[in-house]
């Protein structure tokens, strides 16, 4: 079933014979490349793929071949990153995960930023991936201008995680967009101040703030929290919310259905969880392209499973 197989190919003057099992000049069975890409998408390293193919087929595949096969994905990534976008997105989450990438002989921490749009019909769409070591105003302006050049004319609510310079970049390119601090990340930051045994009680106390009916009621709830037992025990939490307050209150102008999406953020959290698992399994990547390939392929698998739309291409 596995191993070397000799094939006698008839020779004729017109060279009209066309093999059915293996086409002329073909060196690999149909679907073989797809199997390599599928294993890569599951977070397997080049060494693991080589060992798996040896176990399955009894063949040795070089790391260069695996890189060549998976590099073909980069053209697909480039087309996907340039595809046209919808003119309006009611909601877009901007988030990032940290990856370790070998660069000039050193392993460096870099951020891969993800934009997840929620369309008017509720469908979710990953708008793009951007890899950067040093984020700043110029980088964020480039990201926002790219989205605009691809057709996005307005975002009603942009949810960000305290990324420095990003709110200003958003409003510079899309001035009507409301910028909202991610409530989930604000809650997580609050939990950093307390012991494990206090977290459940604190989470319950903070609900009165972000589930308030409007901005005035929310500020009243925040003041009550600061004056109460939790606020007195952990004053840094109230200060944390106060610092972010100008980017929390836009949240209360939206219907409860939209607000529920913002303070749960299940979509972006589920997506990031998959990406982080793959990143942890790999340890570090040999290049920027290697990291981009893997994360794109994971997003592509999410799209095929129905958890995101428009991931695989234009």
277: its two tokens: 């698992």
83: left (phi over 0), alpha (psi -120 to 50) or beta: beta
Q: Which of 178, 127, 130, 176 is nearest to 153 (CA)?
A: 176
Which residues have C-beta within 8 Å of that of residue 188, sequence separation ≥ 6? none
Instruction: Output Rg (C-alpha) for the chain, integer angstroms.
Output: 25
pLDDT tens profile 110-150: 888 999 998 888 888 999 999 987 777 888 899 999 999 99
pLDDT tens profile 280-297: 877 888 889 888 988 898
* Unique residue bearing structure tokens 């703030």: 209
What is the predicted pLDDT for the residue at 18?
A: 59
Question: Residue 109, SS3?
Answer: strand
What is the spatial distance between Cα 284 and Cα 99, in angstroms, rounded to a whole number? 7
String of b and e for 292-312 (b: at least 16 CB within 10 Å)? bbbbbbbbbbbbeeeebebbb
Q: Are the C-beta atoms of residues 201 and 230 closer than 8 Å to each other?
A: yes
Question: Per mean pLDDT, which range of 58-67, 229-238, 305-314 is the poorest?
Answer: 305-314
β-pair partners for 100? 109
Q: What is the dihedral of CA 14, 17, 22, 27, to 10 degrees?
A: -10
Q: Are the C-beta atoms of residues 180 and 114 closer than 8 Å to each other?
A: no
β-pair partners for 132? 111
Q: pLDDT band at 15, cuts 50/70/90?
A: low
What is the predicted pLDDT for the residue at 154?
A: 94
Residue 250 has pLDDT above 90, yes or no: no
Residue 252 has pLDDT above 80, yes or no: yes
Q: Which CATH class is domain 84-180+281-314?
A: alpha beta
Q: What is the dihedral of CA 72, 76, 81, 85, to 10 degrees?
A: 180
pLDDT tens profile 260-278: 777 765 667 778 888 888 8
What is the predicted pLDDT for the residue at 103?
A: 84
14: its two tokens: 């017109």
Q: Are the C-beta atoms of residues 253 and 176 closer than 8 Å to each other?
A: no
Beta-strand relationship, 88-103 and 106-118: antiparallel
pTM over the 0.95 mark: no
Say which DSSP state 14 is in: T
Continuous segment of H or E residues that includes residue 241: helix 235-243
120: its two tokens: 């008017």
């Amino acid at each position: 079933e596995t191993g070397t197989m000799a094939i006698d190919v008839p020779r004729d003057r017109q060279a009209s014979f066309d093999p059915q099992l293996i086409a002329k000049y073909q060196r690999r069975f149909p679907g073989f490349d797809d199997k390599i890409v599928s294993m890569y998408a599951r977070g397997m390293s080049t060494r693991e793929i080589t060992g798996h193919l040896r176990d399955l087929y009894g063949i040795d595949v070089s790391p260069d071949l695996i890189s060549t096969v998976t590099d073909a994905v980069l053209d697909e990534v480039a087309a996907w990153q340039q595809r046209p976008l919808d003119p309006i997105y009611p909601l877009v989450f901007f988030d990032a995960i940290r990856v370790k990438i070998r660069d000039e002989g050193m392993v460096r921490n870099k951020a891969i930023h993800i934009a997840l749009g929620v369309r008017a019909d509720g469908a979710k769409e990953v708008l793009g991936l951007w890899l950067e070591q040093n984020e700043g105003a110029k980088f964020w302006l480039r990201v926002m201008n790219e989205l605009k050049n691809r057709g996005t004319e307005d975002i009603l609510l942009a949810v960000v995680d305290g990324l420095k310079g990003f709110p200003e970049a958003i409003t510079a390119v899309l001035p009507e967009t409301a910028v909202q601090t991610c409530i989930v990340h604000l809650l997580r930051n609050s939990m950093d101040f307390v012991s494990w045994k206090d977290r459940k009680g604190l989470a319950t106390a903070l609900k009165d703030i972000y589930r308030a009916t409007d901005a005035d009621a929310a500020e009243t709830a925040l003041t009550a929290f600061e004056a109460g037992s939790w606020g007195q025990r952990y004053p840094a939490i109230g200060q944390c919310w106060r610092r972010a307050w100008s980017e929390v209150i836009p949240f209360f102008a939206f219907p409860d259905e939209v607000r529920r999406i913002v303070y749960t953020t299940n979509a972006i959290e589920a997506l990031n969880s998959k990406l982080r698992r793959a990143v942890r399994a790999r340890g570090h990547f040999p290049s920027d392209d290697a990291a981009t390939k893997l994360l794109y392929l994971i997003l592509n698998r999410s799209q095929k499973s129905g958890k995101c739309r428009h991931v695989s291409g234009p």
